Amino acid sequence: MLKIDSINLIDEEKAKAIKELESDTESKLNTLNQFMHDSLLNISHNDRVALLVGMIMAAQGVADKITPLKLDELKGQEGQYTNDGQIFLNKIKDFLSYKNLPQEKINLVINDLEKAFIYSKLYNVKSYTNELLHSSDESPLKKSISKCLIISCHL
């Protein structure tokens, strides 16, 4: 995918392309936000923000050190250390540890994210409020990250 800055466009065309990208991204994020609100236990706005921020960190990885989270790593298991929420948190911890942050700050971020990724039970396939999604073998976290990854592919 070409980056907007590397394309030979006049300034007006660049501005238009950036505006269209921003508009498209905002629309997709609004759709993801609505899905998270309507289908995932009506989680709070703050938890939705935490989920999105955590998903972005887990999906980024660290070049040559930590691979980005892949959908096939999320299995919908419910084990204490193997559930999708824990897999997310492990990727996020790795991501943060390579950012040279003080351990106290990492612990603070992880404590905030645990509420959204672990205590919300969104790793459980039965956590959907939308009954039609209960038959899914994907956890709400996996379904949300797949929507988030679709958005990032367009960035």
Per-residue pLDDT tens digits for 81-111 = 888 899 999 999 999 999 989 999 999 999 9
* Domain membership flag for residue 109: yes
* Domain membership flag for residue 7: no
**Contact between 53 and 131 (Cβ < 8 Å):** no
Q: Cα separations (Å) of 102 from 38, 40, 89?
A: 36, 33, 17
* Domain membership flag for residue 8: no
pLDDT value of residue 1:
46
* Domain membership flag for residue 25: no
* Domain membership flag for residue 96: yes
pLDDT at 154 over 50: no
* Domain membership flag for residue 81: yes
* Domain membership flag for residue 17: no
Burial 101-119 (b: 16+ CB within 10 A, else e): eeeeebeebeeebbebbbe
Tally the domains of the chain: 1
* Domain membership flag for residue 12: no
pLDDT value of residue 110:
95
Per-residue pLDDT tens digits for 4-56 = 556 577 888 888 888 888 888 788 778 777 777 776 666 788 888 888 889 88
Range of the domain at 130: 44-153
pLDDT bin (cut points 50, 70, 90) of residue 155 is very low
